[in-house]
Each structure stands twice: as C-alpha cells, then as structure tokens.
Amino acid sequence: MHAAENHLRIAILEDDPDQAEIVSLWLKDAGYTVNSFLESAGFLRAVRRDSFDIYILDWIVPELSGIEVLRKLRGELNDNTPVVVATVKDKEQSIVRALEAGADDYLVKPMRRGELLARVAAILRRTGIGISPDNTFEAEPYLLDINNQVVILNGEEITLTNREFGLAVLLFRNAGKLLSRNHILEAIWGIDYNNVSTRTVDTHVSRLRKKLRLNEGTGWKLISVYQHGYRVERETPIEEKS
C-alpha cells in the first residue's frame, strides 16, 4: 500500500536547510507528510502540541543536539514515537550511544535516498504503523474488519460511517498514543483538512465513543486531552489499581 493512504507523518530535525529540503522531498515523493525543523526548540514545541509517526533527528544541531532531544523525548516528554538518528559519527561507540538513548535506528550521513526510505519503512513495519489494510485488526473485544469496513463487538456488528470507521482504525492502531486533532484531520479528511473545523473531529470522536461503547466497561477508554487531541487506551484492570 502506498504510504500516502495512511497519511503517515514524519518530523525532521536538520539544521542544514539544503539537506532538510532534499530529505523532505525524498519522503514526500514516497507519500509521507513531512514537517521539517532547523532548530531543536522549534522541533520540541511542535512535538509537544502535535503528533507524528516517526522522527528523524540530526545528531549535530545548535543548542540541543539530536541525542539531547532524543533523551528529552524519551524522558521528560515520555514520547515513544520511533526515532531515526542521522549522524556523521559512524564509529560503533557513537551508534551505541544513539541506540542506548532510545533511538530505533540510525543513518550515517550523507544520507542516501534508498537507504533512508528502506529504514523508515522497516521501522513502520516493526512498530505496526502502516500495516496493510486488507486484513482484520483485533483489539479484544473489538474486531475491525478492514476489508468490509465493519467493527464487531462481542459478535455484534456496529454500523459506522466511512469516516467513523477510519477514525476507529487510526485510534486503535495507535493505541496508547496521543493523536493531535491536526493529525486526525490529515489522516481522515486528507489533504484538504485545512478547510475542516477541528470541531468536526470532536463531533466524530463523540459519536464513535458512543457507538463503540468506549469508557463503558469494554476494556478500552477514549481520553480527550484539552487543546491537543485524543488517545484510545486499555483500561487498567481493577486489581492493578492502587
């Protein structure tokens, strides 16, 4: 499946404008939506208010280095979004540092188009982001039949509109991850989402919550985060609560 059909979003931290433009073009040509940042502060502001499917961080940037940004993501921000670190430091010790800091993969600069796209695709496959839609997807007790665009709950077929079904798939495939309203708009309404009000997202989420009986003892809850977006996650079993 072409990546664009999933509207997968990539954020790049790269302080060289020419390199940032080239990498962005490679990724956009492959069907990804790309946001590029030349400095760490802007990148961190963006990831605090928005959500992405993967980050590509240059190791050497002014202010905070890519590794310091990565540590902040994994620590202070508790952000587990997959990360590729791009570095001219090709010694084993440097690569180990990146992986120990929480990177999922690394690329030695100068980056090459084919290798970059292959590494990104491999990470997305490993994390389950962008898996092929021609199958069923199970989030017990829900079964999402993607071929027929049907959600089944405990044997009962639940009628959803096309956009509601797409929203259900997006949320469950990103279970535990906070998705911004812009991310949801882009994925469900497509490239013209700027003409759609974020209230539309809220309305669709509210309908989906009711239809799927989320937060009603099904084992899943849908959480709204003020001024940001939504997250579907498993409810904590009673015996695990303190």
Report which of residues 190 and 56 the model is more confident about: 56
Residue 230 has pLDDT above 90, yes or no: yes
Average model confidence (pLDDT) across the chain: 85
Residue 203 contacts by C-beta under 8 Å, 6 or more apart in sequence?
A: none
Would you state the pLDDT for residue 242? 39
Contacts of 48 (CB under 8 A, 6+ apart): 77
Examine the pLDDT at 2 and tell me if it is beyond 50: no
Averaged pLDDT, 43-70: 92
Please determine, for residue 205, whether its predicted confidence score (pLDDT) is greater than 80.
yes
Percent of the chain exceeding pLDDT 70 equals 87
Q: What's the pLDDT at 72?
A: 93
Burial code (b: 16+ CB inside 10 Å, e: under 16) for 78-107 equals ebebbbbbbbebeeeebbebbeebbbbbbb
Domains and CATH numbers, the chain: 3-127 (3.40.50.2300), 136-240 (1.10.10.10)
Longest dimension (CA), the chain: 56
Tell me the per-residue pLDDT of 109-165, one tens digit each, with 9 for 90 and over.
Answer: 888 999 999 989 888 777 666 555 557 788 889 998 887 888 999 889 998 888 899
- Return all residues near 132 (Cβ < 8 A) that are at least 6 apart: 1
Q: What is the pLDDT of residues 27-52, one digit of tens each?
A: 999 989 999 999 999 999 999 989 99
Q: Which helix (H) or strand (E) holds 230?
A: strand 229-234
**pLDDT tens digits along 4-14:** 345 689 999 99
Q: How far is CA 240 from CA 175, 219, 231, in A?
A: 19, 13, 21
